[in-house]
Every structure is written in structure tokens, then in C-alpha cells.
């Protein structure tokens, strides 16, 4: 069968590109190496409980907001099962301080609720909110407009850590304003303020949870693609992108099949894309630049099934930081790990007053599991990693739970089952060689170096996904819109999405 577009990887970026391009009448084929679609949208079940792997909550989904409009245009917004989070969506916990500080939906509530805890800093909180909004205003695609994007250049070099510190000298308020920086792997000396602003703003605008997991987004988008006459191939790993005569002619799969198309979109990591094409059009200087970029840290995650009706459900998240480690949670040692965590509840569907499960996430580098790097374990390709690996997971589970117990004894006392995932798990299911959470680490010192164009020097090969401009559900969605705009040569696509 002849296709118009082949999309490599069924993460959110790939599936959104597929549904948008299918809507324009192109015949799409999405090729996925795993059994389950969705990349970071994937879920898994244990003990009849469903766990999200990467999507614990989503911002910008109220009617008319940016992500709402993208998913409406893609044709799935009315079928999504969503639950709005409570006003204070994130509670920030600091070592040695029993209080929980909150980030709230709506800028008035955000200011008033924080000013209640920091009355002398009310003006600083107002200045912070004004700056977040001002920085966001310089990114036209974020607001689904085609305005001149050059204004953003003046803010790309702002440091998140230094900008927040310049707004307020109050170290505790700094820690609260950046308290959920696990959302973008915030690090000292690298993380740009615009990354902080674009992500935090979307949650302040509105915060939502997917009822029964984020994988519904992937399933709905795949259904749209098929309805439009497209094809979705699972368990089909791409081994080579073949260029001939100045354009990509076809892909080769692990099974030895060749699939041809007019256009190709890679939704896998840009470095991994370069690894599977030896086209001379992609010059060595470009290859060195892309493959030399650092990725964000990977993660260790703990998924807990709780005893029934033992822990009250809380429709907000918690982020904890050890004192002095706000911007260097990744610089841990074996003894002081973990330096912080994010904690997320899901309700018991039979009795929503109680939590059924809790997921806890903390940074972990791939080097910690490097000795097992030659083992692979995913659905359809199951292998044991050995007793040493199980002992490692047990030791890390105990370390993380010891820290969690200090603030959440009710959780640690009521664990029925626990399941740990390491950077190896991330690598095997998501495909990044080092298990990175968010792909390429953005760097304000050289911002243009870490922003990647969807266009490549091969005229019919495009890139999409979280490594390009901004990660997370929203960032990946906007990258998909940009990729489609360039492929279709249709700047009006953004207007259609905004007015959907």
C-alpha cells in the first residue's frame, strides 16, 4: 500500500501529527515498536489497578485554552474522560517545615493563596505572575497565533533559578515558586525561565487528571487515524530510514519489510533518528550537534497499591525537596538519594473518598543501572534482569519510602503491593537510550543549540516530539502542530486550530 506520510513512533507527537494530517486528506501510517501505543501516555495494570507511566496531570484543558483547542481539532476532546483538580493543584513540601504551600489554578487564587503564607512578599508574587504571563506572550504558537515569533529571542537566555531569585530574596518563596520543577527537570545553570513559565502557566490556567489513565488519549487518536483511512502498525520496529536521490524513499522494519511514502516524520528522539539513517544530506556538523546534546535525567518511580479504604484521596499532587536541593535534585550521592520527589494519587473508583494507588517519582541517572544495560524487558520481549537488579530495586524502594514516610506515614503503613520502575524501564518502553524523562535538556546559556527545527536537510523528513521545543503533553502537542504546519506548508493550520 502506498502512503502519503509514515510516522515513526506512536507517542503523543506522532499520533497528533497523524490525526491532523489525516484530517487534511493524507493517507497516514504510524509505525510503533511496542505492543502498546502512546509513548509516555502508556499505562499498565497491576492487581486490577491502572497506573500512568508519565501523565499524572495536564494543564491548559479548559474550553478555549491552547491544549483544549488542539485536541478539539484532532477530534477527541469530547470523548476524553477528565476530572478537574482542586483549586490548589500542587502542594509544595520543604524539609524541616511542616506546612504545605500551594500553587493554585487561576492567577488571582495563585496570588492570594501564596500571599496568605507570604504576606510581606505579596508584591513579589504579583511581579512573578506578571513575568510568567509576559514571557508566555512572546511565544505565538503557545497562543495558537501566527504572529512574529522573534520577540521570544529576548527571553530565551533567562535562567529560571536566577530570574526567580531576582524577583524575591526569600529562599522559602523561591522554593515554593519552583517547587514543581520536577515537571521539567529543573537544574541550576541550565534550565531556562521560559520553560518554567510555559509549563507552570498551563497548570495555573487549568489543571486536569485523566480518569482511568492517559492512554485513552493515544487510543482515541489512533481511532481517529484509522477512521480517516490511516494505518497503525504495532510491534513493528524501524531499523533504517533509507534515503535515495536526495529524499527518503522508504523505511526498513526489523521484520524485513520496506514501507514507502512521500513524507516521513520521526517522533523518536532526534539522536535516535540520526542513528537509523546514514543519508549524506545530514552533515556531520549537524549530527555532532544533535548527538552531543545532553538529555534530561531519567527517573525511578514507585507505584503503590493501597489497602482498600485506608488512605483518603487527595485531588492534588505533592512535591517535596530536601533543604538546599531545589535546583540540584539530580546531584545526589548513593547515600543522600533521593533529594526530593513528586507524589500523585488516584481515587478508588468504587469509593472515590479514598485513594486506590499512589505513584512516586524521583530523579535517577541511567549510570545507576548501567551494569544491566544489555538486558531488555518489555511486553512481547520479556527477560529477567537477575537477582542483583531486583536487590537494587528493593534497596532504592526502601530508601525512597523512608523519605516519604516522614511526611506520609499513612501511605507507607497501608501499602498492599509495590512496583518499581528504573531508567531501564523507561528506556525499554519509550526508546531513549538513557531513559531520559523529557528528552533534550534545554540550556539558557546557548538556547538555540537546544531548540531543534522539525525540518531536516532531507526535504521530506521531518521531526516531532518533546525534544524539539518544549516537553510535556502541551509542549509535545504544539511541536506536532508546528511539524504539520511545515510539512503542509500551511500557516493557516494554526488559525484553524485556534478557531476549532
- C-alpha 371/C-alpha 396 separation (Å) is 16
Tens of pLDDT, residues 191-249: 999 999 999 999 999 999 999 888 999 999 999 999 999 999 999 999 999 999 999 99
- At 261 the pLDDT is 97
* pLDDT for 246: 96
Give the pLDDT score at 247: 97
The pLDDT of residue 1: 67
Q: Tell me the DSSP string of 273-313.
A: HHHT---TTS-HHHHHHHHTSPBPPEEEEEEEEEPTT-SB-
204-241 burial, b for 16+ CB within 10 Å, e for fewer?
bbbbbbbeebbbbbbbbbbebbeebebbbbeebebeeb
Closest CA to 485 of 457, 458, 459, 455: 455
Residue 321, strand partner residues = 94, 340
**Sequential DSSP letters for 244-276:** ETTEEEEEEETTS-EEEEEEEEE-S-HHHHHHT
Provide block-wise average pLDDT over 10 residues at a time, the chain (500 residues): 92 97 97 88 77 86 96 96 96 97 98 98 98 97 92 95 98 98 95 97 97 91 97 95 96 95 96 94 95 94 96 98 96 97 95 96 97 84 87 98 98 97 88 87 92 95 92 92 96 95
Per residue in 307-358, pLDDT (tens digit) is 999 999 999 999 999 999 999 999 999 999 999 999 999 999 999 999 999 9
- pLDDT value of residue 188: 96
User: What are the domain boundaries of the chain?
Assistant: 3-73+211-293+444-498, 105-210, 297-437
pLDDT value at residue 149: 86
Q: How many CB atoms are closer than 10 A to CB 310? A: 15
In sequence order, the 6+-apart residues with CB closer than 8 A to the CB of 207 are: 57, 58, 59, 84, 85, 89, 105
pLDDT at 430: 80
pLDDT at 429: 81
Cα–Cα distance measured from residue 442 to residue 448, given in angstroms and rounded to the nearest whole number? 9
Q: Report the distance separating Cα 314 and Cα 90, nearest Å.
A: 11
For the entire predicted model, the pTM comes to 0.95
Give the whole-angstrom CA distance, residue 301 versus residue 53.
Answer: 9
User: Class for domain 3-73+211-293+444-498, per CATH?
Assistant: alpha beta
Beta-bridge mates of residue 7: 30, 265
So what's the pLDDT on residue 469?
85
Amino acid at each position: 500500500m502506498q502512503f502519503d506520510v509514515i510516522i515513526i513512533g506512536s507517542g503523543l507527537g506522532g499520533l497528533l501529527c497523524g490525526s491532523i494530517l489525516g484530517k487534511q486528506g493524507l493517507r497516514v501510517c504510524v509505525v510503533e515498536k511496542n505492543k502498546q501505543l502512546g509513548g509516555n501516555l502508556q499505562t499498565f495494570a497491576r492487581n486490577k489497578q491502572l497506573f500512568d507511566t508519565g501523565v499524572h496531570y495536564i494543564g491548559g484543558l479548559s474550553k478555549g485554552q491552547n491544549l483544549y483547542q488542539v485536541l478539539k481539532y484532532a477530534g477527541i476532546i469530547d470523548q476524553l474522560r477528565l476530572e478537574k483538580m482542586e483549586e490548589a493543584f500542587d502542594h509544595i513540601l520543604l524539609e524541616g517545615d511542616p506546612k504545605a504551600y500551594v500553587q493554585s489554578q487561576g492567577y488571582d487564587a495563585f496570588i492570594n493563596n501564596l500571599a496568605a503564607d507570604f504576606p510581606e512578599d505579596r508584591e513579589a508574587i504579583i511581579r512573578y505572575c506578571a513575568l510568567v504571563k509576559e514571557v508566555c506572550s512572546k511565544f505565538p504558537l503557545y497562543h495558537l497565533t501566527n504572529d512574529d515569533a522573534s520577540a521570544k529571542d529576548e527571553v530565551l537566555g533567562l535562567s529560571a533559578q536566577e530570574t526567580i531569585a531576582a524577583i524575591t530574596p526569600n529562599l522559602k518563596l523561591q522554593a515554593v515558586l519552583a517547587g514543581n520543577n520536577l515537571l521539567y527537570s529543573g537544574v541550576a545553570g541550565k534550565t531556562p525561565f521560559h520553560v518554567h513559565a510555559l509549563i507552570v502557566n498551563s497548570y495555573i490556567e487549568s489543571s486536569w487528571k485523566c480518569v482511568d489513565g492517559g492512554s485513552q488519549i493515544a487510543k482515541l487518536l489512533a481511532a481517529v487515524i484509522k477512521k480517516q483511512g490511516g494505518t497503525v502498525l504495532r510491534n513493528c520496529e524501524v531499523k533504517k530510514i533509507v534515503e535515495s536521490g536526495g529524499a527518503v524513499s522508504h523505511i526498513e522494519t526489523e521484520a524485513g519489510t520496506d514501507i514507502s511514502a512521500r513524507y516521513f516524520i520521526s517522533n523518536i528522539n532526534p539522536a535516535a533518528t540520526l542513528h537509523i539513517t546514514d543519508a549524506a544530506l545530514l552533515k556531520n556538523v549537524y549530527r555532532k550537534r544533535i548527538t552531543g546534546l545532553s538529555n534530561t535525567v531519567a527517573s525511578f518511580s514507585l507505584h503503590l497499591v493501597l489497602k482498600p479504604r485506608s488512605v483518603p484521596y487527595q485531588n492534588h499532587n505533592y512535591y517535596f525537596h530536601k533543604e538546599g536541593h531545589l535546583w540540584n535534585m539530580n546531584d545526589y550521592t548513593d547515600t543522600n538519594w533521593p533529594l526530593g520527589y513528586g507524589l500523585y494519587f488516584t481515587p478508588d473508583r468504587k469509593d472515590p473518598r479514598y485513594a486506590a494507588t499512589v505513584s512516586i517519582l524521583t530523579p535517577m541517572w541511567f549510570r545507576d543501572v548501567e551494569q544491566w544495560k544489555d538486558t531488555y524487558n518489555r511486553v512481547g520481549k520479556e527477560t529477567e534482569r537477575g537477582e542483583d537488579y531486583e536487590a537494587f530495586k528493593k534497596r532504592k524502594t526502601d530508601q525512597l519510602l523512608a523519605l516519604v514516610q516522614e511526611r506520609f506515614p499513612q501511605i507507607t503503613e497501608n501499602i498492599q503491593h509495590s512496583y518499581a520502575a528504573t531508567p531501564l524501564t523507561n528506556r525499554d518502553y519509550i526508546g531513549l537510550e538513557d531513559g531520559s524523562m523529557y528528552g533534550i535538556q534545554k540550556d539558557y546559556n546557548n538556547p538555540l543549540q537546544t531548540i531543534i527545527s522539525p525540518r531536516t536537510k532531507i526535504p521530506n523528513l521531518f521531526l516531532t516530539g518533546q525534544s524539539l521545543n518544549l516537553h510535556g503533553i502541551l509542549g509535545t502537542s504544539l511541536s506536532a502542530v508546528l511539524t504539520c504546519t511545515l510539512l503542509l506548508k500551511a500557516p493557516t493550520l494554526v488559525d484553524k486550530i485556534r478557531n476549532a
